[in-house]
């Protein structure tokens, strides 16, 4: 298909807005630490050149370390996911700056202030086991103890945010549920899903009625054609979104439908030619579940999984990480907290996973989550 767009109304690859210039505080801190370590004055003309010469091989080594790259990207993904789910008061990086403590401790990656004022300290972990149905991870007693010591000193509960990257699933768990007698931690993806507390961050399971359709109409006042081989040549004059045969005109309906169609878990077929009689009038993309239910409602994805696909499109090329930072989407899922179910033309059912409140021992299996 060869086409051009006139006007807007559906997702595009527009460049993000320019960020304001900020002073290089972090870079200056690194240079200052290097200068102190090597007894070089900050006003020494050779400082910059010597710093770059020292940093270059270390930077190359870091860029060639897949564990470091994937782990760093996952931390940024968690940050963007929390921003996009939208149920928080404050989110900050916790493990930056100098920490002076009476004992040995390790600061977790993030501090989250939830929408009800409760605070969490969150350590992020990326897991990718080779066996698809044997996803599990563990943490040494020493490492977990260092995180717990920090959390105890600041009086804040510790959580582990685990990204099971092969399945594109986030779980947030309390480590006490899975602590071993040795003091370490071992958890499978199945048990982490059952104990998942990400609903506190705004995680929801989204269901709607298929199909979802995006129809790109050809501008009626411009040339358009459809060859015998199926090649369409036209200028896009309109972009309309449908739930089944019902056109979505409300801005919130359209926005969420776009998100679900482009990044949800349904299969999308298209572009398919649209004709009016024998006249070519545009193309459409149609999203449907691979195995539709007989109830009329089908799950199209967890909010975090939907966002993770969007983030991957910005940061992954094939099996290579090309960026650590991607854009968050805070306007995607926040509207779900006060969705107008009665008047919306986009039918929705939302499921919220709630982890059990009681604590279990490391050897027991948490009870099933509740879907509300």
Q: What is the mean pLDDT of residues 115-126?
A: 97
Q: Does residue 104 have a cis peptide bond before it, meaning omega lies within 30 degrees of 0?
A: no
Output the six-digit token pair for 17: 């807005």
**Which carries the bigger pLDDT value, residue 190 or residue 367?**
190
pLDDT of residue 14: 52
pLDDT per residue as tens digits for the range 309-363: 999 999 999 989 999 999 999 999 988 888 989 899 999 999 987 777 644 433 3
Short-list 178, 173, 79, 159, CA closest to 119: 159
Q: What is the dihedral of CA 356, 358, 364, 367, to 10 degrees?
A: -30
Reply yes or no on whether the pLDDT at 301 is more than 50. Answer: yes
CA–CA distance from 299 to each of 233, 282, 351, 366 (Å)?
35, 29, 10, 24
Residue 127 pairs with which residues in a beta bridge? 164
pLDDT of residue 275: 87
Residue 235 pairs with which residues in a beta bridge? 4
Q: How far apart are CA 195 and CA 179, in angstroms?
A: 13
Q: What is the mean pLDDT of residues 260-278?
A: 92
Q: What is the mean pLDDT of residues 88-112?
A: 91
pLDDT of residue 6: 43
Average model confidence (pLDDT) across the chain: 89
- C-alpha 108: how far from its chain's center? 19
Judge contact between 287 and 211, C-beta under 8 A: yes
Other CB atoms within 10 A of residue 273 CB: 15
**3-class secondary structure, 347:** coil
pLDDT of residue 1: 55
Highest-confidence range of 10-19, 122-131, 228-237, by mean pLDDT?
Answer: 122-131
Q: How far apart are CA 259 and CA 276, in angstroms?
A: 28
pLDDT of residue 19: 61
Q: What is the mean pLDDT of residues 162-185?
A: 95
- The number of helices, as runs of H, and strands, as runs of E, in the chain is 8, 21
> For the chain, which domains are there?
56-201+358-367 (3.40.1350.10), 205-351 (no CATH)
Confidence of residue 308 (pLDDT cuts 50, 70, 90): very high
pLDDT per residue as tens digits for the range 351-368: 987 777 644 433 333 333
pLDDT of residue 133: 87
pLDDT of residue 2: 52
Confidence of residue 192 (pLDDT cuts 50, 70, 90): very high
Q: How far apart are CA 231 and CA 233, in angstroms?
A: 7
The model's pTM: 0.85
Short-list 190, 276, 184, 185, CA closest to 226: 276
The residue assigned the tokens 């004055």 is 41
pLDDT per residue as tens digits for the range 5-53: 444 445 544 555 566 677 888 899 999 999 999 999 999 999 999 999 9
Judge contact between 237 and 222, C-beta under 8 A: yes
Judge contact between 299 and 207, C-beta under 8 A: yes
Q: How far apart are CA 341 and CA 297, in angstroms?
A: 15
pLDDT of residue 11: 55
Q: What is the mean pLDDT of residues 209-228?
A: 91
Reply yes or no on whether the pLDDT at 238 is more than 90. Answer: yes
Reply yes or no on whether the pLDDT at 150 is more than 80. Answer: yes
pLDDT of residue 371: 43
Judge contact between 307 and 80, C-beta under 8 A: yes
pLDDT of residue 94: 96
Output the six-digit token pair for 92: 């900050």
φ, ψ dihedrals at 41, nearest 5°: -70, 145
């Amino acid at each position: 298909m060869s086409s051009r767009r006139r006007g807007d109304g559906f997702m595009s690859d527009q460049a993000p807005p320019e960020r304001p210039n900020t002073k290089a505080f972090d870079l200056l801190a690194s240079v200052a630490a290097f200068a102190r370590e090597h007894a070089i004055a900050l006003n020494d003309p050779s400082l910059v050149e010597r710093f770059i010469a020292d940093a270059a091989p270390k930077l190359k080594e870091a860029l060639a370390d897949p564990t470091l790259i994937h782990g760093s990207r996952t931390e940024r993904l968690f940050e963007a996911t929390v921003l996009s789910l939208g149920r928080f008061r404050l989110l900050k990086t916790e493990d930056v700056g100098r920490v002076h403590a009476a004992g040995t401790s390790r600061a977790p990656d993030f501090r989250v202030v939830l929408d009800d004022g409760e605070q969490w300290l969150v350590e992020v972990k990326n897991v990718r086991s080779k066996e698809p149905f044997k996803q599990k991870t563990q943490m040494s007693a020493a490492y977990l103890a260092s995180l717990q010591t920090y959390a105890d000193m600041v009086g804040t509960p510790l959580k582990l945010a685990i990204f099971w990257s092969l399945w594109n699933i986030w779980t947030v768990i309390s480590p006490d549920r899975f602590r071993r007698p040795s003091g370490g931690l071992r958890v499978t993806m199945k048990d982490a899903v059952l104990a998942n507390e990400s609903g506190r961050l705004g995680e929801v399971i989204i269901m709607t009625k298929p199909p979802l359709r995006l129809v790109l109409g050809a501008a009626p006042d411009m040339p358009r054609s459809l060859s015998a081989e199926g090649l369409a040549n036209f200028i896009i004059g309109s972009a309309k979104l449908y739930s089944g045969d019902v056109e979505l005109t409300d801005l919130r309906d359209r926005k969420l439908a776009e998100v679900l169609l482009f990044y949800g878990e349904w299969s999308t077929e298209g572009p398919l030619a649209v004709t009016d009689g024998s006249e070519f009038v545009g193309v459409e993309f149609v999203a449907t579940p691979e195995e539709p239910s007989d109830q009329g409602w089908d799950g199209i994805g967890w909010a975090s999984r939907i966002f993770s696909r969007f983030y991957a499109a910005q940061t992954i090329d094939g099996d290579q990480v090309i960026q650590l930072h991607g854009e968050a989407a805070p306007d995607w899922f926040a509207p779900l907290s006060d969705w107008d179910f009665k008047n919306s033309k986009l039918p929705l059912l939302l499921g919220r996973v709630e982890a059990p409140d009681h604590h279990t021992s490391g050897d027991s299996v948490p009870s099933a989550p509740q879907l509300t």
